[in-house]
């Protein structure tokens, strides 16, 4: 995969406080090897100055552009994620930084992460350190659909039935927060833009998959209601392969169907299945478990880097086929010998709140 150089730029009109933050960050990013250009065609990173009053988006031309929107707040509310998430979406950002001068920068991520970097020594450097793994990660969200699914699987099999049952159980346990209603807060043209850029049909959290054979696995689609997984090609997709040249997930679908995209984490599941033949099922939820190993950095969903970091922890687990690993500030990925095996091990042990640090 080609790595774009780390060109970054700024956009929008900053307040005085944001201007200082922007200048500090610019310097810290340059120290890390980022190169500032005033009007690059396809920057890797954009610092988008915005405000609560007029949350304007930076319209990227490329999926590879990581947009961090910065806005100034006098204080943070009691329900920060609920309050700030709409600004993340409206500004079409990958990350929102709400800066409270004298206090610190609150980070809000697409996967509902929220954590604070307090102001003080090394402030800008610490922010740049957190942004870097996210901004430099490679998204694997391109889908290629081959209409070669064998007819006997068009209506699913015992594995798609098991996925459907497991989705219902997770919903009963309240582990599938309702998809965020982005269509309610975005005008249609922005919604199209979001779909194109992030490859999502809506925001919903968590995903599940089950191995079909040596190479292939069934996986939940992107943005669907996981408590109601039914139709092949629409709710559940057959992942056939990953194409590293095209950087695309390859799916087998029935003909005469307008397929939905597969969950953005398909690359992570693909890596785990390929490496561990004994893994038969995988569940990812935005929740936590006591005493689990976790990834060191917060990588965005659907990136090659997140997949690699998770796969590394699975490899180190005493039994990779029955592992639970944490994704920092995000959730857990659990492997099992079957979906039922995973649910049995999770029951009663899941903490609904992901620790944020
Ligand atoms: Zn997730």
Same domain (yes/no): 149, 251: yes
Same domain (yes/no): 102, 157: no
Residue 199's pLDDT band, with cuts at 50, 70 and 90, is low
Ligand 1 centre to CA of 300 (Å) is 8
CATH, residue 149:
3.40.225.10
Segment 253-280, tens digit of pLDDT:
999 899 999 998 999 999 999 999 999 9
* Contact (Cβ atoms closer than 8 angstroms) between residue 334 and residue 324: yes
Mean pLDDT of 155-176: 94
Residue 176's pLDDT band, with cuts at 50, 70 and 90, is confident
Same domain (yes/no): 239, 288: yes
Rg (CA), the chain: 20
Segment 298-332, tens digit of pLDDT:
888 888 999 999 999 999 999 999 999 999 988 99
CATH, residue 33:
3.40.50.10300
Ligand 1 centre to CA of 339 (Å) is 18
What DSSP element (H or E) covers 334?
strand 331-336
Give me the pLDDT at residue 245, please. 92
Give me the pLDDT at residue 1, please. 39
pLDDT higher than 70, residue 182: no
Residue 178's pLDDT band, with cuts at 50, 70 and 90, is low
Same domain (yes/no): 79, 200: no
Residue 189's pLDDT band, with cuts at 50, 70 and 90, is confident
Among 34-43, 54-63, 144-153, where is mean pLDDT lowest? 54-63
* Contact (Cβ atoms closer than 8 angstroms) between residue 103 and residue 72: no
Same domain (yes/no): 158, 96: no
Q: Does a structural domain hold residue 351?
A: no
The total number of residues shown for the chain amounts to: 357
Give the Cα separation of 210 and 188 in Å (integer): 34
Ligand 1 centre to CA of 167 (Å) is 15
Mean pLDDT of 188-203: 66
Ligand 1 centre to CA of 111 (Å) is 6
Average pLDDT over the chain, rounded to whole? 90
Give the Cα separation of 352 and 117 in Å (integer): 23
Q: Does a structural domain hold residue 2?
A: no
Q: Does a structural domain hold residue 352?
A: no
Same domain (yes/no): 131, 220: no
Mean pLDDT of 73-100: 89
Domain boundary among 135, 170, 194: 135
Domain boundary among 107, 135, 163: 135
Q: What is the 3-state secondary structure (H, E, C) of 18-75?
A: HHHHHHHHHHHHHHCCCEECCCCCCCCEEEEECCCCCCCCCCCCCCCCEEEEEEECCC
Residue 108 is classified by DSSP as E
Q: Name the residues around ion ligand 1, CB cutoff 5 A.
A: 111, 301
Same domain (yes/no): 195, 290: yes
Total domains present in the chain: 2
Ligand 1 centre to CA of 205 (Å) is 6
Closest C-alpha among 113, 38, 52 to residue 87: 52
Same domain (yes/no): 114, 195: no
Q: Does a structural domain hold residue 1?
A: no
Give me the pLDDT at residue 85, please. 84
Same domain (yes/no): 148, 79: no
Give me the pLDDT at residue 28, please. 97
Q: Does a structural domain hold residue 356?
A: no
Ligand 1 centre to CA of 94 (Å) is 14
Ligand 1 centre to CA of 113 (Å) is 10
Domain boundary among 135, 158, 188: 135
Q: Does a structural domain hold residue 332?
A: yes
Same domain (yes/no): 98, 203: no
Percent of the chain with pLDDT over 70: 94
Give me the pLDDT at residue 27, please. 97
Among 121-125, 180-184, 290-294, where is mean pLDDT lowest? 180-184
Ligand 1 centre to CA of 142 (Å) is 17
Give the Cα separation of 348 and 28 in Å (integer): 44
Q: Does a structural domain hold residue 354?
A: no
Same domain (yes/no): 73, 209: no
Q: Which domain holds residue 147?
A: 142-346
Q: Does a structural domain hold residue 355?
A: no
10 Å CB burial of residue 187 (0-12, 13-18, 19+) is exposed
Same domain (yes/no): 174, 237: yes
Mean pLDDT of 175-190: 70
What DSSP element (H or E) covers 309?
helix 304-316
């Amino acid at each position: 995969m080609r790595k774009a150089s780390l060109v970054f730029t700024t956009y929008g009109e900053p307040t005085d406080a944001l201007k200082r933050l922007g200048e500090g960050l610019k310097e810290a990013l340059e120290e890390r090897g980022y190169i500032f250009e005033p009007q690059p065609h396809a920057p890797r990173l954009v610092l988008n100055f915005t405000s609560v009053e007029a949350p304007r988006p930076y319209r990227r031309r490329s999926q590879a552009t990581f947009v961090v929107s910065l806005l100034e707040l006098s204080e943070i509310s009691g329900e920060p994620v609920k309050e700030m998430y709409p600004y993340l979406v409206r500004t079409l950002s990958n990350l929102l930084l709400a800066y409270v001068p004298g206090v610190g920068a609150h980070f809000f991520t697409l996967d509902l992460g929220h954590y604070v970097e307090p102001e003080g020594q090394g402030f800008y450097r610490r922010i740049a350190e957190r942004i870097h793994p996210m901004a430099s990660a490679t998204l694997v969200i391109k889908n290629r659909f081959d209409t070669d699914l064998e007819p006997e699987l068009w209506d699913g099999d015992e594995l798609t039935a098991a996925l459907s049952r497991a989705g219902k159980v997770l919903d009963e346990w309240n582990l599938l927060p309702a998809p965020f209603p982005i269509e309610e807060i975005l005008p249609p043209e922005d919604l199209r833009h979001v779909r194109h850029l992030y490859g999502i049909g809506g925001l919903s959290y968590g995903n599940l998959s089950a191995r079909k054979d040596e190479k292939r696995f069934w996986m939940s689609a992107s943005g669907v209601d996981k408590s109601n997984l039914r139709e092949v090609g629409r709710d559940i997709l057959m992942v056939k392969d990953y194409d590293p040249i095209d950087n695309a997930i390859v799916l087998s679908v029935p003909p005469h169907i307008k397929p939905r995209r597969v969950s953005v984490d398909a690359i992570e599941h693909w890596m785990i299945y390929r490496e561990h033949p004994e893994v038969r099922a995988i569940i990812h939820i935005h929740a936590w478990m006591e005493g689990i190993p976790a990834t060191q950095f917060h990588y965005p969903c659907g990136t090659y880097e997140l997949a690699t970091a998770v796969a590394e922890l699975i490899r180190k687990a005493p039994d990779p086929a029955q592992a639970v690993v944490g994704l920092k500030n995000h959730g857990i990925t659990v492997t099992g010998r079957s979906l039922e095996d995973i649910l049995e091990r999770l029951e009663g042990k899941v903490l609904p709140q992901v620790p944020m640090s």
